[in-house]
């Protein structure tokens, strides 16, 4: 790989084929690609985390997501990492951490309302059903062609002081 663009293409190609690969092969191929990216570049750690995540190895994925955060990412990947890492933390039962990551998730077109939807799942897992439903409803309000005002009121009523 001589350029960032060719590395990016190779990563995209691997993701295109990843469903046909088993865990060992997928991780090995992503590790090989990650080794071709500068060690100080968070993209390699992010992509490797995603591959572990895809193969349900959340503990390993979490460690690589944390490494990617330490190294830094562009805006789109940072937003995607928040969704993926938040989901991983939820699956690991680290609910307060998941909620914190997802509440702090940057807004980006590449993720749309996904951070709020995964936040709703984490809140539900934490036993906070009314708050989870409110967040899920609010995540979808802007997509509604009508009834936005009433849906905002219904969502707010779910967590108003009782």
Summarize pLDDT for 118-151 with one digit per residue, the tens: 999 999 999 999 999 999 999 999 999 999 999 9
Q: How far apart are CA 16 and CA 11, in angstroms?
A: 9
Report whether pLDDT(39) > 90. no
Closest C-alpha to 46, from 20, 19, 7, 103: 7
In a domain, 19, yes or no: yes
pLDDT digits (tens, 9 = 90+) for 83-102: 999 999 999 999 999 999 99
Is the residue at 124 inside a domain?
no
C-beta of residue 158 within 8 angstroms of C-beta of residue 130: yes
pLDDT given at position 160 = 87
* Mean pLDDT across the chain: 94
Residue 46 belongs to some domain of the structure = yes
Residue 66 placed within a domain: yes
Candidates 43, 41, 61; CA nearest to 51 is 61
Would you state the pLDDT for residue 3? 82
Return the structure tokens found at 65.
């997501």
In this structure, is residue 22 part of a structural domain?
yes
Residue 115 falls inside a structural domain: no
Whether residue 140 is contained in a domain is answered as no
Residue 94 domain-assigned? no
More confident residue, 38 or 143: 143
For residue 37, give the DSSP letter. Answer: S
Domain harbouring 2, CATH code: 1.25.40
Output the pTM of the full model. 0.90
* Tally of domains in the chain: 1
Give the pLDDT band (50/70/90) at residue 40: confident
* Domain extent for 62: 1-73
The predicted model gives 24-50 an average pLDDT of 92
- Which residues, in sequence order, are CB contacts of 143 under 8 Å at separation 6+? 113
């Amino acid at each position: 790989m001589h350029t960032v663009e060719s590395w990016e293409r190779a990563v995209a190609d691997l993701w295109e084929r990843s469903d046909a690969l088993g865990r060992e092969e997928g991780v090995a191929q992503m590790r090989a690609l990650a080794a071709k990216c500068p060690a100080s570049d968070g993209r390699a750690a992010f992509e490797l985390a995603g591959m572990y995540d895809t193969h349900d190895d959340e503990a390993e994925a979490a460690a690589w997501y944390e490494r990617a955060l330490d190294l830094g990412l562009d805006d789109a990947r940072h937003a995607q990492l928040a969704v993926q890492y938040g989901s991983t933390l939820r699956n690991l039962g680290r609910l307060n951490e998941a909620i914190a990551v997802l509440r702090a998730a940057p807004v980006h077109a590449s993720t749309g309302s996904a951070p709020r939807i995964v936040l709703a799942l984490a809140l539900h897992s934490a036993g906070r059903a009314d708050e989870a439903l409110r967040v899920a409803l609010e995540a979808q309000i802007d997509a509604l062609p009508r009834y936005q005002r009433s849906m905002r009121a219904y969502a707010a009523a779910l967590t108003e002081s009782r």
